[in-house]
Structure 1
Amino acid sequence: MDIRITEVKEITLPISSPIRNAYIDFTKMTTSLVAVVTNVVRDGKRVVGYGFNSNGRYGQGGLIRERFAPRILEAEASTLLDQTGENLDPDRVWAAMMTNEKPGGHGERSVAVGTIDMAVWDATAKIAGKPLFRLLSELHGVEADPRVFVYAAGGYYYPGKDLAALRAEMRSYLDRGYTVVKMKIGGAPLTEDLQRIEAVLAEIGSEARLAVDANGRFDLETAIAYAKALRQYDLFWYEEVGDPLDYSLQATVSEFYPGPMATGENLFSHQDARNLIRHGGMRSDRDWLQFDCALSYGLCEYRRTLAMLQRHGWSSRRCIPHGGHQMSLNIAAGLGLGGNESYPDLFQPFGGFPDGVRVEAGYITMPELVGIGFEGKSDLCRVMHDLAE
């Protein structure tokens, strides 16, 4: 069969919310939803791969429609296939998208490519008739582990949200099976944030651990002030203390904070990730890396990032991606990451798990759904099928 991609469709959709973190509010947040349509038929239906970009970055419709999708459709179909000619080769599709792109300048380009890349991998796994995490483990010669650690991300600033409401939110995550919860800091004065932290710690007690996230807000002086204040708590991590490209700031703050730190969600290439490892003072025995494939050129690039980490003595288990989407869940299960972020109540229908998947003692078990598994999440499936059809 002459396998080919026949269409690449995109629609920009709102995922707005009145929440805010230390840097931005989400009242006008959007995402791009992409459908990569193929001429392959499975069980009487054409194979369509789906993808979308993570929260925190806006939809990339212009770049997708005007630059990257046309390159895929203009490429000779055979150049996008694997050596057997019986399936797509995501690396070759990725190379076609990046034709005539200069090095560097990653920015929004990496989000557009990562969105399409997700859809290509979904289609590839569907053509193969396998869950993506199973396909990835086979490609890399490793054993898949369907059981994946997840933590609950929340604790945003919200109009009228007092300490009681914050405590109730965190309690709801524990009631749903999470053992690690995360809250935002840096959007209020230090003294107020410490009150918020202590309220959450009082609520969760020994039932769970707490991580805090500054969303890159702090200058060096403020980051160190928070580090000194946070040392009194046994936190799961202290996240993204300053500008993600200020590796010197990250390295300096680590000297004042002996506990685990986390960063990486706003680094969008394996080169930027490499600079973090080289110059950011990250400690491979305790710190966490949050690179998000949906924002950083996709899984093709993420595999290059993982190879770089291995060369620098880092385990893939130190990676817990940002974004809370099923793509990273598949990577975690297939390539042995340390877990994945989860947004139990936000950014729907794009976040969360397939219907029926429950968090148990901080872990979920991946269902054996073909592709990424989007079709197992009914509210998301409806939106995706509306685009493809």
Structure 2
Amino acid sequence: MRIVDIRERSASIESDIANAYISFSKMTVSVVAVVTDRIVDGKPVVGFGFSSNGRYAQGGILRERLIPRIMEADPDSLLDADGLLDPIAVSKAALSNEKPGGHGDRAVAMGALDMAVWDATAKAAGLPLWNLLAERYSGGRADETVMVYPGGGYYYPGKGLDALQDEMRGYQDDGYSVVKMKIGGAPLKDDVERIEAVLKVVGGGHNLAVDANGRFDLETALAYSRAITPFDLFWYEEIGDPLDYALNATVSELYPGPIATGENLFSHQDLRNLLRYGGMRPDRDWIQLDPALSYGLTEYLTVLQVVDQMGWSRRRFIPHGGHQLALNMAAGLGLGGSESYPGVFHPFGGFADDCVIRDGRATLHDTPGLGVELKQVLHAHLRSILELD
């Protein structure tokens, strides 16, 4: 099996929505296709990948550094013992001659590329990605369904409480149990009113998570924690700056409910520091590293080694991103669940067209690879933008 071409492009996911920190009006993502010489059903195997929302496209890093290193590598050095692409070897080649540290845009570029390589490998093996992961890393055990929650409740012009409640009713009608909404983009008093409006719909705090998107300083974080404690929420997410572990630790000492964070950390070293210094509590808190932003599934395997070494359960890990990679990983690696984006970031957000969500759990696909082909609008968009016949 050989890589014959790697294509990358930037794609728009522009939207009028906003969270507490950024607008998505000019947001882009990187999309990647890894074209191989392996023929299945009369066609070359092509792996698809894309970066997650919230970080911009990284075409320069892909074109100038990562892709050339792969194409210049000895093709045999990129294969496993079965002659399939070895994503770990490909990642090592792509990241050769890179200094340690500085995790950020480089991690986003590699995340999109790594997704495409894993997609190609699973397709060549004839297995859904979740199945391949279960066989290789979980003793053949995979979850039959995955806990999922919709990332929603964004701010946008003219959106009042009625519209917010209607949005949450729609998620419940679609089969979700736990829902998530944004906070921090309005005054505390207004956000409390928004939370109370949603609670009237979802049936209690155990069905509602709130997300501040790293907006708060310590004083504001504690004011919000005092205000929301009586609601007994599913979690209080990304309270302050992602690297302000002291702030997170202080809040965790004073806020009794679950905290979630990690979507803006990009390596296993970052994750280790969060667990060491961020006050995260393994009995109730949640970790949200997004593989498509943090060097990919390959790096996430190292993340899970850190998790095991530090005595955390993998069930406390729910990847950010709302994409098919996270869903496959959750099922195959025994994670706690996956975010979902049924209403935003199309066509990249969301799962396969025939994915059923019932009682807050999503079913899995049975097609080899990541399942991009089962999301028809996404598949067509990727083939068009990447100029694949």
Task: Give yes or no for TM over 0.5.
Answer: yes
SS of 1:13's equivalent in the other structure is: strand
Structure 2: which amino acid aligns with 1:268? F
1:18 maps to which residue?
A: 16
Aligned to 2:335, which of 326, 334, 337? 337
Looking at structure 2, the residues matched to 356 and 368 of structure 1 have their Cα atoms a distance apart, in angstroms, of: 11
2:184 maps to which residue?
A: 186
Aligned to 1:375, which of 365, 373, 376? 373
Looking at structure 1, the residues matched to 332 and 201 of structure 2 have their Cα atoms a distance apart, in angstroms, of: 35
| Post-superposition offset of 1:283 | 0.4
Q: Please give the residue correspondences for 1:129-144 in structure 2 after superposition, counting only pairs within 5 Å.
A: 129-140=126-137, 141-144=139-142
SS of 1:135's equivalent in the other structure is: helix
Matched, 1:99 2:88: no
Aligned to 1:242, which of 233, 237, 240? 240
Contact 1:179 1:207 in 2 (8 A): no
Structure 2: which amino acid aligns with 1:110? A
2:315 maps to which residue?
A: 317
Instruction: Structure 2 unaligned segments of length 5 or more: list them.
Output: none
Question: What per-residue deviation string (whole Å, max 9, x for no partner) do you get for residues 228-277 of structure 1?
Answer: 11101020000000000010110001111110000000000000000000
| Post-superposition offset of 1:62 | 1.0
Looking at structure 2, the residues matched to 273 and 361 of structure 1 have their Cα atoms a distance apart, in angstroms, of: 31
Contact 2:205 2:233 in 1 (8 A): no
Matched, 1:356 2:326: no
Number of residue pairs matched by the alignment: 386
Runs (4+) off by over 4 Å? none
TM-score (norm 2): 0.98
Matched, 1:221 2:230: no
| Post-superposition offset of 1:151 | 0.3
Matched, 1:124 2:142: no
Looking at structure 1, the residues matched to 359 and 127 of structure 2 have their Cα atoms a distance apart, in angstroms, of: 27
Identity of paired residues, percent? Answer: 62
2:383 maps to which residue?
A: 385
| Post-superposition offset of 1:385 | 2.2
Contact 2:206 2:233 in 1 (8 A): no
Looking at structure 1, the residues matched to 365 and 127 of structure 2 have their Cα atoms a distance apart, in angstroms, of: 11
Distance 1:188 1:244, change over 3 A: same
| Post-superposition offset of 1:142 | 4.1
Distance 1:184 1:248, change over 3 A: same
| Post-superposition offset of 1:353 | 1.3
Contact 1:34 1:116 in 2 (8 A): yes
Structure 1: which amino acid aligns with 2:96? T
2:69 maps to which residue?
A: 71
Looking at structure 1, the residues matched to 149 and 59 of structure 2 have their Cα atoms a distance apart, in angstroms, of: 30
Structure 1: which amino acid aligns with 2:331? A
1:115 maps to which residue?
A: 112
Q: Please give the residue correspondences for 1:276-287 in structure 2 after superposition, counting only pairs within 5 Å.
A: 276-287=274-285
Looking at structure 1, the residues matched to 320 and 204 of structure 2 have their Cα atoms a distance apart, in angstroms, of: 25
Contact 2:127 2:368 in 1 (8 A): yes
2:344 maps to which residue?
A: 346
SS of 1:334's equivalent in the other structure is: helix
SS of 2:231's equivalent in the other structure is: coil
Instruction: Structure 1 unaligned segments of length 5 or more: list them.
Output: none
| TM-align CA RMSD | 1.0
1:49 maps to which residue?
A: 47
SS of 2:357's equivalent in the other structure is: coil
